[in-house]
Amino acid sequence: MAETGMSNRAGRAGVSDIVDAADVTDVADATDAVRENRPIGPHRRRVLRGAGLLGFGGGIAIGGGLGGVMALDGGVAVAAERPQEDQSGGTDRVAAVRREALAGVVGDGRHQPGIADRPPAQLVFTAYDLTTSGPAAVRTSLAAVLRTWTAAAAVLMRGEPLDGAERDTQGLGPAGLTITIGLGASALRRAGLDAQIPAEFADIPAMPGDQLDLARSGGDLGVQVCAEDPMVAVSASRQMRRLAAQDARPRWIQRGFLRSAAAAFNPGSTPRNLMGQIDGTDNPGPGTPRFDRAVWVSSGPEWMRDGSYLVCRRIRMLLDAWARLDETAQSAVIGRRKSDGTALSAPPVGQGGAETIQPDFTARAADGSLAIAGNAHVRLSHPSFHGGIAMLRRGYSYDDGLDSAGEPDAGLFFAAYQADPRTAFVAVQRTLAAGDALNTFIRHTSSALFAVPPAAPAGGFLAQGLFGAG
């Protein structure tokens, strides 16, 4: 949820007059304000499979414009409102993004897929623990799993079946499937590879307010599986789990979702989270120098150069408490308007404002108070207060039903890729944990950090440099 940054300015105005912590009494049902999709990274190419797959089922047409899209309201077919064109490129761009959501993803040969690509609608993230013991045995198991997964992921992302595997996705295309594999520092320590652990790969320290479930945190390995279709995502995740069964067992699994490319009026716009807030404004754009600096590792051990570090945090949202605030109060907590994502220091969309206009943290409201409160989320998390350091947020909403107390468990599976977690996530989260107005409405319940190595060399496997393989 972070936008990345902090403020140490004296005399900051807060939003405590709007937010009363005593109002937080339970956790709400998940809302239907789920996330849209971001544009596809320019350094990826997509291979369309299945000519003529221009629709997503359910009678939805995605040809030229959106004027013919139909929706059901109480069982009666009605014409959906035609959205206005925006900076994403208009209805032609929308149709193109929807077609591309059905395609297979081919990596650029330098980085693993599933980082710079447009996030598909479905996520299955699985953390694993290696089952062997002793450094030599762990090294052997780790290399075997990585070798097997590297080959399998390439086949699955092409939309092809694995040899001997149940063909449970017959009739489905690749659906934008990406499989991204990371290593936990615990795996390297267990394998006796401590000397290969970069300084950037330091454990995430405890943060004020953390309520972490250790059983749902950490892991020797992490596998992020994303696809536009849930059957494709679940099947790929299950097959990766089956292939590793001899050497690793699942530690925890998290399912997540975004608003689908089929449902979104504009699948290229910034997503919304379950609080209904636009979430991901000012993310670094793939293919830009800012993205490269923020996301890709450029120094340290060879096995991690051109890789990235993935921070995962399960953030439970207290949605009933959030819903008791009116929209003005919700916008004040974030520092952006809920309606259009514009900073409170700028005019709304339609009055000269835009989501992309940078916040002005010195701006004053008509009554002389700060337009963006001193403890607003956007102020404390903005890159301008962290030396310009940014990270790529690629999170998914989740709804895990009821907890043991019978309360709904829903929120954000926060996932952020960065070149150095110490100066990105850790620095930002320390500031947020100390004073973010949003803390009243969220709880961090799990945490993990994975090193995501670069793409495997031709004929090789991921992170093979760890094992002296060339």
Number of Cβ within 10 Å of residue 366's Cβ equals 6
Between CA 307 and CA 311 the distance in angstroms is 13
Between CA 156 and CA 228 the distance in angstroms is 14
Number of Cβ within 10 Å of residue 52's Cβ equals 5
Place of tokens 């990585």: 146
Number of Cβ within 10 Å of residue 404's Cβ equals 6
* Best CA proximity match to 3, nearest among 271, 276, 316, 281: 281
Amino acid code (one letter) for 164: G
Task: Take residue 171 and report the two structure tokens written for it.
Answer: 């009739």
DSSP H stretches of helix in 78-130 = 90-100
Query: Are 41 and 286 within 8 A, CB to CB?
Result: yes
Query: Are 214 and 408 within 8 A, CB to CB?
Result: no
What angle separates helix 230-243 from helix 135-157, to the nearest 10 degrees?
150
Rg (CA), the chain: 22
Active site residues per annotation = 279
Between CA 457 and CA 381 the distance in angstroms is 37
Q: For 130-161, b where at least 16 C-beta lie within 10 A, e where not — what string?
A: bebeeeeebbebbbbbbbbbbebbeebbebee
Query: Are 332 and 379 within 8 A, CB to CB?
Result: no
Q: Which residues pair with 248 in a beta bridge?
A: 130
* Best CA proximity match to 43, nearest among 311, 292, 396, 390: 292
Provide the 8-state DSSP code for 168. Answer: T
The kind and range of the H/E element at 431 are helix 425-435
Count of CA atoms in the C-beta half-sphere (13 A) of 346:
19
Number of Cβ within 10 Å of residue 70's Cβ equals 12
Strands (E), 23-96: 45-47, 70-73, 76-79
Between CA 133 and CA 237 the distance in angstroms is 25
